[in-house]
Amino acid sequence: MTLQERLLALKKARATSCDDRNPVSPVGARTQPRAGDPRDVAPGPDWTRVGEFVYTRCTRTPLDESLRAAIDSVESGSTSLFRGRGRLVFFDTETTGLSGGAGTVIFLGGCGEVLGDEFAVRQFFLTDYPGEREFLRGIIGCFESDAICVSYNGRSFDWPLLLGRCVMNGVRPPDVQHIDLLYPARRFWRSVIGACNLGAIERHVLGISREHDADGWEIPGLYFEYLTDGGTDRLFDVFEHHRTDITTLARLTREMVDATTQRTEFNGIDAVNLARFVAARSVSETEARRAEVILTIALETARDSTTRLDAGRELGLIFRRKRRYDDARTVWARVFTEFGDLASGLELAKLLEHRFRVYEEALSVVEMLCDACRDSTRRSAAGAPAELEKRRARIERKIAALR
C-alpha cells in the first residue's frame, strides 16, 4: 500500500468514527450549530442571547464620586498615570488556559466603564466554541469611540490573546491605547508586599476580601466541566470572580491617582519609586513639585529608616538637577549626619567644593569619608580610597592657595 493509499484509508476511517453527537468541540473547532442545539442555552436568567453560543449581561452599581473624579482625571490626561485622552474601558478575560498560545481560547470577556451615574460591567460568555467569532465581535464592540483599554497584565496576556483570536476568526482587531496597571503597581508596592498579582493587591492595598469566589487556577477546569455536562453551579462563581476583577481595576486606578496626586501618607507604598514615577512623567511644575512633596513627607514621616534614607538621597538628586543647590546641600547634610550615608556625604563634599567653594567644610566631610572607608564594607558607597585621597589632596591645595 502506497503512502497516498494509507492516508486515504485513515481519512475514511476517521470520517466514519466521528461521533456527531459529542457536545464538546475541541479547542479551535469549527462545528456547525444545529437548530435547538442544547449547548446554546443561557447560563442564567440574567443573561441575554446575542448570537449563537454567545450570551451577555450587564451589571450596574452606583458610581462613587471619588472613583468618578479619578477616572475623569485619567481620561482628560491630567495625571502622570497616563497622558492620552479618551474613554477608559476596564478589560479582563477568563480563558481555557493560563499560558497563552494558539490553543487557548477566551470564553469569558468583559469591560467596565462609567455610564451616567453608574459603573457598568458588561460580560460576554461563550457557551461553546462555534460561537467564538460573534463572541469576539461583542467584546471588541466595547472598544469603539476613542476607548483606552485598562488591564492588569493585559499587555502581555489578555490583549495579545484577544488579537490572536481575532486574526484566527477573521475579525478585524481593535486598535486602542492601553494602560497596564501591573507595571506601576510593581513600582509602587512590590518592595512592600512582595508578589503583585491582582489578588495580593486586593488584599494588601485595596483591603478587598473575596468570598464565594473561584480561584484563578481552577477556572479553566470549571469551564471544561461545563462543556462536558452543562452544569452551571460553579460557573456563577467564575462570573463573579471575573466581574470583581474588572471592578478592582477601577478601584486600583483610583488608588494610583490618589497616590500620585494628593496622598499625604506613604507607609505601605514605595514612596521613592512613586516619586520617581511622578517626576519622570511630569509635564508641569505642579507635578514636578508633587515628587518633591512625596519625598519630603517620606523623609519626615516614614516608619523605617531605609525609606527615609532613600527619600533623602533622591530628594537631594532632584534638587541638584534643578540647580537648587542650597536645598540639595541641606538634605545631603542631614542624611549624611543622621544616617551616616556615605553616598550622600560624597555628593555633599562635591557640592561644597565645586559649587559653594567652602573648602574647609568640604575637607572635613572628605576626611570623615576617608575614615569610613577604612571599613571595607562601606568603601564602595564613598568611592575608592585612592579617589578620596586625591580629592582631599586637591582641596588641601586649594586651601593653601588661599592663604
Query: What global pTM score does this model have?
Result: 0.85
Residues 108, 225, 100, 169, CA torsion sign? negative
Q: How far is CA 1 from CA 4, 5, 8, 17, 359, in A?
A: 8, 6, 11, 22, 97
Q: Which domains are seen in the chain, by residue range?
A: 48-261 (3.30.420.10), 273-402 (1.25.40.10)
Task: Read off the pLDDT of residues 35-71 as tens digits, 9 standing for 90 and up.
Answer: 456 678 999 999 999 999 999 999 999 999 999 999 9
Work out the angle at residue 342's Cα, subtended by the Cα atoms of residues 338 and 345, and round it to the nearest 5 degrees: 75
pLDDT < 70 stretches in the chain: 1, 6, 10-38, 375-383
Cα–Cα distance, 399 to 403 (Å, whole number): 7
Asked whether 180 and 154 are in contact (CB, 8 A), the reply is yes
Close Cβ partners of 383 (under 8 Å, ≥ 6 residues apart): 346, 369, 373
pLDDT the model gives residue 380? 57
Q: How far apart are the first and last CA of the chain?
A: 108
DSSP line for 98-136: SS-STT--EEEEEEEEEETTEEEEEEEEESSGGGHHHHH
Cell 491617582, residue located: 257
Residues, the chain, total?
Answer: 403
Q: Each residue of 138-152: b (16+ CB within 10 Å) or e?
A: bbbebbeeebbbbbb
DSSP line for 227-283: HHH---TTHHHHHHHHHHHHHHHHHHHHHHHHHHHT----TTS-HHHHHHHHHHH--
